[in-house]
C-alpha cells in the first residue's frame, strides 16, 4: 500500500509539473512593431496571441487600441516611450505624470502592463545630451508610478544594444564600454534600487553576418558544432545566444550588480533579404527561432545562469513593410498580416509539448514499436560534456522529432539528466532520418551501437540497417 501511495504521489507530482510547464511559459514574449501600413486590427492580433504560448508582448509605444485589445487576456504588456520624449520626461515631472495618466491608468490592471521602457538603445545613439537625460527621465516616470501607487507593480527600465559592451568574447570577459562611465553606473543603480531588469538586444544573426564561416552559422543556430571554450570559466559554449547573454551577465557582475535580472528585449533572424545579404533564409530563421524556443523550454538556462530561462522577446510578430534599410529589415515576422504563420516554430498552444516540422523534409523511418535485439542505435560517446549534450538535445528536438517522452511525465523523463535526455533524442533523430550514419555524428560526439539502450519503462526506437 505504501509503495502504491508513493508511486501515485510521484506520478501526480510529475503530471502537475508537466501541466505547469506547458501553461507557464512566461519567458516567451514577442515584439509588436508598427512601422507598417498593412497590420491586422488589434482585436485580431489579440486573438492570434491567445492561440499561442506567447505570454508577453512588447510595444515600442503605447498604442491605446492595442493596449485595450489585450485587456483581460492575461498577456503581459511592455509599453515604451519614444526617444523623442526623453528630454521632456527628464525635465518636467508633470509631463511624466501626464504620461502615466494617459497611457497606464486608463487601462491597468485589466490590461496587464508590466514594464515601461524609456527610449530604445539610447546609450548607443551617439546623442550625449539624450544619454545624460535618460536616467532623470526614468526616475520621473518611476516617481509618477509611485504617486499612483503602482511603483511595485509596473517596472521602469530602458533597452540597450549589445554595443554597450566594450568586450563580449569570451563571455567571462564581458565588460561595459568605459566611455559610458558614471552614466551606466547610474542606470544600473536605478535597476538595482527598483528591481527592474537590464534589457538587452542580442542578435546572433548580426554576429554571423560579420563571420560567414559554416561553424559560426551552426553556433548561431543552436546546431551541433565544436563549441567555443572560455578559458576564464573553463566553460565550453555551444551556442551564440548563451554566449552573448552571459557576456552581459559578466559585465553586470564585474560592476557589482549581480542581483539585476536580464531580459532579452529583442532577438530574431530574418527569413529573407536582398541578394547581397548573407544569412537571411526561411531555413535559418526557422532553425534559430525554433531552436531558441526549444532551448528556453528546456529550462536549462545559460552556463552563468543555470536552471531557469531568461525572459526573451522574439523579434517580431509581423513584418514591418515601411521600415527603411536592407530587405532583411522588413522580413523578421513570425506571422503574416493575414494571421497565418510565416513558418512554424512551435508557438501554437497545441505545439507546446512538441516541436515543429523540420525546414527540410526528411525521409521518415518506421521505428520498432518494441525493444529490438537486432537493431542499431545512436548514442553519445563516453566522454561528452553536458554543454555538448545539451546542444545535441536542443538540435534534435528542434528538428521535428517527438521529444515528449523526455519531458516531465514522459516515459523516459527519469533519470532526469541531460545525458539521458540527449541520448534518447539523438537516437530518435537518427531513427527518423532514414538511419543514415551521418545523422549519428553530432559533431563527432555520437556513435552507432548494436546494444539496445532501452531500459524499464523507456523504449528506444531501433531497427535493422
What cell does 82 get?
Answer: 519614444
Terminal-to-terminal C-alpha distance of the chain: 46
Distance of alpha carbon 465 from the chain centroid: 38
Separation between Cα atoms, residue 227 and residue 236, nearest integer Å: 6
Catalytic residue among 266, 277, 283, 414: 266
Backbone phi, psi, residue 27, to 5°: -80, -5
> For this structure, is 121 an active site residue?
yes
Catalytic residue among 55, 121, 169, 259: 121
> For this structure, is 55 an active site residue?
no
Q: Which residues are catalytic?
A: 121, 266
Amino acid at each position: 500500500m505504501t509503495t502504491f501511495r508513493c508511486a501515485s504521489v510521484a506520478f501526480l507530482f510529475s503530471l502537475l509539473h508537466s501541466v505547469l510547464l506547458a501553461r507557464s511559459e512566461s519567458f516567451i514574449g514577442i515584439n509588436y512593431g508598427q512601422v507598417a501600413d498593412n497590420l491586422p486590427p488589434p482585436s485580431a492580433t489579440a486573438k492570434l496571441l491567445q492561440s499561442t504560448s506567447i505570454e508577453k508582448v512588447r510595444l515600442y509605444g503605447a498604442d491605446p487600441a492595442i493596449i485595450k485589445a489585450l485587456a483581460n487576456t492575461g498577456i503581459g504588456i511592455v509599453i515604451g516611450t519614444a526617444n523623442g520624449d526623453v528630454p521632456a520626461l527628464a525635465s518636467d515631472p508633470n509631463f511624466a505624470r501626464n504620461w502615466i495618466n494617459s497611457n497606464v491608468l486608463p487601462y491597468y490592471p485589466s490590461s496587464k502592463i508590466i514594464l515601461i521602457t524609456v527610449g530604445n538603445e539610447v546609450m548607443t545613439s551617439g546623442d550625449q545630451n539624450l544619454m545624460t537625460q535618460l536616467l532623470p527621465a526614468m526616475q520621473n516616470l518611476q516617481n509618477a508610478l509611485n504617486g499612483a501607487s503602482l511603483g511595485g507593480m509596473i517596472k521602469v527600465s530602458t533597452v540597450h544594444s549589445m554595443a554597450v559592451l566594450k568586450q563580449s568574447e569570451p563571455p567571462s570577459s564581458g565588460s561595459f564600454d568605459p566611455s559610458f562611465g558614471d552614466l551606466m553606473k547610474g542606470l544600473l543603480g536605478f535597476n538595482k534600487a527598483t528591481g527592474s531588469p537590464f534589457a538587452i538586444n542580442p542578435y546572433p544573426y548580426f554576429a554571423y553576418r560579420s563571420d560567414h564561416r559554416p561553424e559560426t552559422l551552426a553556433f548561431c543556430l543552436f546546431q551541433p558544432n565544436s563549441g567555443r571554450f572560455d578559458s576564464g570559466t573553463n566553460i565550453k559554449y555551444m551556442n551564440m545566444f548563451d554566449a552573448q547573454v552571459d557576456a552581459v551577465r559578466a559585465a553586470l557582475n564585474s560592476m557589482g550588480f549581480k542581483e539585476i535580472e536580464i531580459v532579452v528585449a529583442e532577438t530574431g533572424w530574418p527569413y529573407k533579404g536582398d541578394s547581397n545579404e548573407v544569412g537571411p533564409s526561411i531555413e535559418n530563421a526557422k532553425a534559430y527561432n525554433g531552436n531558441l524556443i526549444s532551448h528556453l523550454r528546456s529550462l536549462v538556462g545559460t552556463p552563468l545562469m543555470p536552471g531557469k530561462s531568461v525572459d526573451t522577446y522574439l523579434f517580431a510578430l509581423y513584418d514591418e513593410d515601411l521600415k527603411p534599410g536592407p530587405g532583411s529589415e522588413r522580413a523578421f515576422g513570425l506571422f503574416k498580416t493575414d494571421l497565418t504563420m510565416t513558418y512554424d516554430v512551435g508557438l501554437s498552444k497545441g505545439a507546446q509539448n512538441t516541436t515543429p516540422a523540420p525546414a527540410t523534409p526528411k525521409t521518415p523511418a518506421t521505428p520498432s514499436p518494441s525493444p529490438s535485439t537486432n537493431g542499431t542505435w545512436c548514442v553519445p560517446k563516453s566522454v561528452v560534456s553536458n554543454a555538448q549534450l545539451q546542444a545535441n538535445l536542443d538540435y534534435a528536438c528542434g528538428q521535428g522529432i517527438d521529444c515528449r517522452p523526455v519531458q516531465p511525465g514522459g516515459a523516459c523523463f527519469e533519470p532526469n539528466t541531460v545525458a539521458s535526455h540527449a541520448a534518447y533524442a539523438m537516437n530518435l533523430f537518427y531513427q527518423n532520418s532514414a538511419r543514415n550514419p551521418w545523422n549519428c555524428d553530432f559533431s563527432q560526439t555520437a556513435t552507432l551501437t548494436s546494444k539496445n539502450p532501452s531500459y524499464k519503462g523507456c523504449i528506444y526506437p531501433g531497427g535493422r540497417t
